[in-house]
Amino acid sequence: MDFSFALGKQRKLREYREWGLTNGLYLNPLNDLGALELASHDCLHLPAMTVGLDERPKYHSLYNQLKQEYGTARFLFYEGTQHPARSYSDKDIKLVDTLDYADYSFNLEKVKIAYRLIYSIFDKVAYFLNDYLSIGIPVNQISFRVLWHEDRKGEILRPKFSGSSNLALKALYWLSRDLFDKGSSQELLEPEAKELADIRNHIEHRSFKIKQYGNWGEIEDGFTFAIGREEFELKTLKQLKMARAALIYLSLAIHEEEKHRVKNGHTIPYLLPNLRQDYKI
- Assess contact for 114 and 79: CB atoms under 8 A: no
Distance, in Å, from the CA atom of 14 to the CA atom of 156, rounded to the nearest integer, reads: 48
207-211 and 218-220 beta bridge pairing:
unpaired
The pLDDT value given to residue 219: 85
- Total count of domains within the chain: 2
Q: Say yes or no: 84 and 25 in one domain.
A: no
Residue 163 covered by a domain? yes
Residue 266 covered by a domain? no
Residues facing residue 211 across a β-bridge: 102, 228
Distance, in Å, from the CA atom of 31 to the CA atom of 3, rounded to the nearest integer, reads: 11
Name the residue among 41, 55, 57, 47 with its Cα closest to residue 5.
Answer: 41
Distance, in Å, from the CA atom of 215 to the CA atom of 194, rounded to the nearest integer, reads: 18
Q: Say yes or no: 166 and 224 in one domain.
A: yes
Residue 196 covered by a domain? yes
Q: What's the distance, CA 40 to chain centroid?
A: 18
Residue 103 phi, psi (nearest 5): -105, 140
Q: Say yes or no: 183 and 208 in one domain.
A: yes
Residue 200 covered by a domain? yes
Q: Say yes or no: 207 and 81 in one domain.
A: yes
Q: Say yes or no: 18 and 152 in one domain.
A: no
Q: What's the distance, CA 274 to chain centroid?
A: 22
Per-residue pLDDT of the chain (281 residues; tens, 9 = 90+): 555 678 888 999 999 999 999 999 999 999 999 999 999 999 999 998 877 777 889 999 999 999 999 999 999 999 999 987 889 999 999 999 998 889 999 999 999 999 999 999 999 999 999 999 999 999 999 999 889 998 877 678 998 898 899 999 999 999 998 887 765 556 666 778 889 999 999 999 999 999 988 667 778 888 999 999 999 999 999 999 999 999 999 999 999 999 887 666 666 677 787 888 777 77
Which residues, in sequence order, are CB contacts of 229 under 8 Å at separation 6+?
103, 108, 210, 212
Residue 268 covered by a domain? no
Q: Say yes or no: 153 and 27 in one domain.
A: no
Q: Say yes or no: 9 and 63 in one domain.
A: no
In the sheet that holds 207-211, the strands lie side by side as 102-103, 207-211, 224-228, 218-220
Residue 272 covered by a domain? no
Q: What's the distance, CA 126 to chain centroid?
A: 12
Q: Say yes or no: 197 and 84 in one domain.
A: yes
DSSP string spanning 124-137? HHHHHHHHHTT---
Q: Say yes or no: 117 and 232 in one domain.
A: yes
The pLDDT value given to residue 120: 95
**Owning domain of residue 4:** 1-44
The pLDDT value given to residue 262: 65
The pLDDT value given to residue 281: 76
Number of neighbouring beta carbons within 10 Å of residue 246: 25
Which residues, in sequence order, are CB contacts of 42 under 8 Å at separation 6+?
26, 27, 28, 67, 70, 71
Residue 77 phi, psi (nearest 5): -65, -40
What is the biggest distance separating any 2 CA atoms in the chain, rounded to whole angstroms? 71
Q: Which residues of 128-146 are buried (b: 16+ CB within 10 A; e: fewer)?
A: bbbbbbebebeeeebbbbb
Name the residue among 125, 121, 120, 128 with its Cα closest to residue 57.
Answer: 128
The pLDDT value given to residue 182: 64
Q: Say yes or no: 71 and 200 in one domain.
A: yes
Q: Say yes or no: 117 and 229 in one domain.
A: yes
Residue 49 covered by a domain? no
The pLDDT value given to residue 115: 97
Residue 172 covered by a domain? yes
Q: Say yes or no: 247 and 122 in one domain.
A: yes
